[in-house]
A and B are shown apart, each in its own frame.
Chain A
């Protein structure tokens, strides 16, 4: 088995047994990227010099028996909305083209502290706004399992990099499904932690009450190892939680005997692809065969979640993106007559159409005369959606559904109809509104060979249970072993 074919934990073991050095593994990944990525578009930038330096430092630590843990020496990648000291971070936007952060995001610093080797930055929809990575101002990303198809979004570059075996794991961000949906479309595992579990410091803000950073990786144990490194209270993020961080890897072999799984009846949405639906039903049968109980459960306000989300997220975005004014950093328009024109022209030249649309939508929802009918109303409906989950979790331990209602679609197919694109998030965004942890795990393939993902949602701060359930399913099915092009 070539180095690149290994999972994160397998390569970690190879490093600790001395079968390979971090420099070897890092070079192997960089070679693969050089060969594969021009046709794939997973990366926006590479940082080869720092990566090789970090790999060398890791090898030196290991030689001195000072290795730091499972991630030490392992090449990973970051979504390009996660700040990296001294290395360009664009958030997929022209307005940040050439922006070189003067500090690391906390998650970047924690991965570095764990010894991980950061190879580069992955493509995304501009400011993480999108479900196909086509809103990137720089380039489209292809699905490794089907060139010409979307890898999903907005963390489509991170997902494609992991799926194509260019890297052993990656971080993404998830505001309405942006980790889980691309994971589902590319046959990888993607976890959105409970809101507050992971620091958002140094992550380009989209919708602060919904954003969370999380891992994408080939297996559940790989994702657990990455989650371990980035979780926990950070004094630099006032909203990061004091909740103790458990050992996410410890219980992965625990199985699902006695686990109560709920299938939300309202997630049988219009437009749910029959092959996706069949894969989830099959998954439910597998869970039952493994000793779990599967029962229907009701989340009655589901049909209003999309509407609430597309008021709340754009409203927060319109406020967060006010900082891009052409004054302190980012694009500045030339030849302006006054300050007002500097703001307007810099923003209009720098932002792409989807970002403008969402800023407009959010500004409208917050404007005088509409604030109560839209913004406050949406926040009240958000409360009802949270209560739906609270009631469901009195009867079940996790909620099972499809991650995306459809498998990957052709690039360009939905770009002209924003509402159609928004519907791609219908099964993932309620989790963000309620602040819950959710994982997407490989659940098989359609007849055309497109990956299908299942989603497991858990109680707040109960990542352990969703990971354990996903791991049990993974041991039984091993879909992750099917390579792109196989």
Chain B
């Protein structure tokens, strides 16, 4: 499957990536090439075959619903690019 430039831009927007025109062209060609290989999946008859998202026979464990230890504000904020008090700071969202 060949991706058009518009499709590449649409996917980049969904993925929150700002691509340069050079990246758009290069990724477009490379992804088209990869999708050609991936398109062999269409040859497989999967009628009635369930999808596998999880390989273990038992479902994942649900955690008991109770309060346990937590990092604390200082440790949780230690890697933040910008903070205000005990909060993560971001650019103004609402004008």
Contact = CB atoms under 8 A, between A and B. Distances in A.
Nearest to B43: A304
B16 A209 contact: no
Contacts of A345: 18
Main secondary structure on chain B at its contact with chain A? loop
A380 B58 contact: no
A239 B56 contact: yes
Contacts of B80: 327-329
Contacts of B54: 209, 239
A242 B60 CA distance: 10
Contacts of B78: 100, 102
B14 to A, nearest CB: 5
Contact of A386 (B44, B55, B58): B55
B44 A361 contact: no
Interface in A178-226: 195-196, 209
Given A102-B78, A343-B16, A418 B46 contact: no
Contact of A363 (B15, B35, B40, B58): B15
A232 B91 CA distance: 43
Interface residues of B, number: 54
B79 A238 contact: no
Contacts of A17: none
A338 B18 CA distance: 14
Contacts of A328: 79-80, 88
B38 A307 contact: yes
B17 to A, nearest CB: 5
A130 to B, nearest CB: 14
Interface stretch (A43-51, A370-378, A474-482): A370-378
Interface string A401-436: 000000000000000001100100000000001110
Contact of A360 (B27, B62, B90): B27
A367 B11 contact: yes
Contacts of B79: 99-100, 102, 328-330
Size bin of chain A's contact surface: 35 or more
A336 B91 contact: yes
A301 interface: yes
B56 A195 contact: yes
B50 A307 contact: no
A137 interface: no
Nearest to B13: A344
Counting chain A CB atoms within 10 Å of each CB, the highest count among B30, B33, B50 belongs to B30
Given A100-B79, A239-B60, A418 B14 contact: no
Interface of B: 3, 7-8, 10-12, 14-19, 23, 27, 30-31, 33-35, 37-44, 46, 49-56, 58, 60-63, 71, 75-76, 78-82, 88, 90-93
Q: Would you list the 6 A-B pairs with minimal beta carbon distance, nearest first?
A: A435-B55, A379-B51, A332-B81, A329-B79, A380-B46, A102-B75
